[in-house]
Amino acid sequence: GAVVSQHPSWVICKSGTSVKIECRSLDFQATTMFWYRQFPKQSLMLMATSNEGSKATYEQGVEKDKFLINHASLTLSTLTVTSAHPEDSSFYICSGQGTDNYGYTFGSGTRLTVV
Amino acid sequence: AQRVTQPEKLLSVFKGAPVELKCNYSYSGSPELFWYVQYSRQRLQLLLRHISRESIKGFTADLNKGETSFHLKKPFAQEEDSAMYYCDLNSGNTPLVFGKGTRLSVIA
């Protein structure tokens, strides 16, 4: 079945540094990639939607200059957390959808800890 | 606006007891509804979708348009069913509209 590979699985970084998270669709073309954030004991919250070749659409309250999303190809989308702060520590997960509407395929998530 | 409501944050049942995880939605068109499951420390997985009308791991869910519900049911709960369950409405190429999730705890 469709697989989205997300890396890294976990990362610890210093406050003020930037972290890049990659999501690759391995056997399908993800025309749309969604990025979610999940704080402990809370539901997934959508951060942004990206369509291949277009600028991402950010949800209200999500800083686009802080969370840079690139979806340059149908198989790769990246989320860069710039100038990370401890409050950015969270679980980030991507999900991709191809042209066939078989539901969403999720990455395995990235646990970001900013110290 | 699209909305999904899972009224129970936590549901505890004894092993062997029936399970019903509630999901209500609001959507003006014809929705596609899904249930996702997240086992501890694992990725979200698609459990089932209403149009397939299949049973996965003993779970079924029927779309009730009159009641705008898509409750997830299983006649006999097992310990390995303990997980977080999310109901989701998909109207096409739009973001997931997740419910807040229900944590199912099956007690031995």
Chain A residues in contact with B89 by the CB 8 A cut-off are: none
Q: What average pLDDT does the segment A54-70 reach?
A: 92
- Interface list for A 49-68 with B (CB within 8 A): 49
Between A46 and A55, name the one with better pLDDT.
Answer: A55
pLDDT at site A28? 82
Cα angle for residues B70, B71, B72 (degrees, 5° grid): 120
Nearest to B100 among A36, A43, A101 (CB): A43
Q: Which of B46, B28, B30, B33 shows the shortest CA–CA distance to B6? A: B33
Which residue in chain B has the smallest CA separation from A97? Answer: B93
- Provide the CB-side half-sphere exposure for B93 (13 A, CA): 11
Contact B46 A104 (CB under 8 A): yes
Which residue in chain B has the smallest CA separation from A106? Answer: B44
pLDDT tens-place string over residues A81-109: 999 999 999 889 898 877 654 455 778 78
